[in-house]
Amino acid sequence: QNNISYNDSRGVTRGIHAEPWDKFISVARGSVFGAWVDLREGSATFGKVFTTVLDPSKAIYVPRGVGNSFQALEDGTAYTYLV
């Protein structure tokens, strides 16, 4: 399933959320500041946080159980994710 989150204004923020499926995240237009936290109990990286800026030149794989969040850095940002 391909989903798109269109963010008209920079500064739009989606808080940390985790679903029971894997995601492949990319940005079709604009850029986002992304933050991920490992919420999987028993994982060697449980509680660790990773941040990066995503733009159309970079994508990221997020496994199920890892919390996902982002903030649009540009007006008209299109954030896409495959699940």
pLDDT tens figures, 52-61? 999 999 999 9
Task: Find tokens 């995240």 and name the residue.
Answer: 25
Q: What is the pTM of this model?
A: 0.91
In one-letter notation, the amino acid at residue 34 is G
CATH superfamily of 2-82: Jelly Rolls (2.60.120.10)
At 1-48, the pLDDT tens digits run: 999 999 999 999 999 999 899 999 999 999 999 999 999 999 999 999
Active site residue 17: yes
Distance (Å, whole) CA 74 – CA 67: 23
Determine which one of 6, 17, 61, 79 is catalytic. 17
Give me the pLDDT at residue 4, please: 96
Active site residue 81: yes
> What are the boundaries of each domain within the chain?
2-82
Helices (H) then strands (E): counts for the chain: 0, 8
- Asked if residue 72 lies in contact with residue 9, where contact means CB atoms within 8 angstroms, the answer is yes
Distance (Å, whole) CA 29 – CA 44: 34
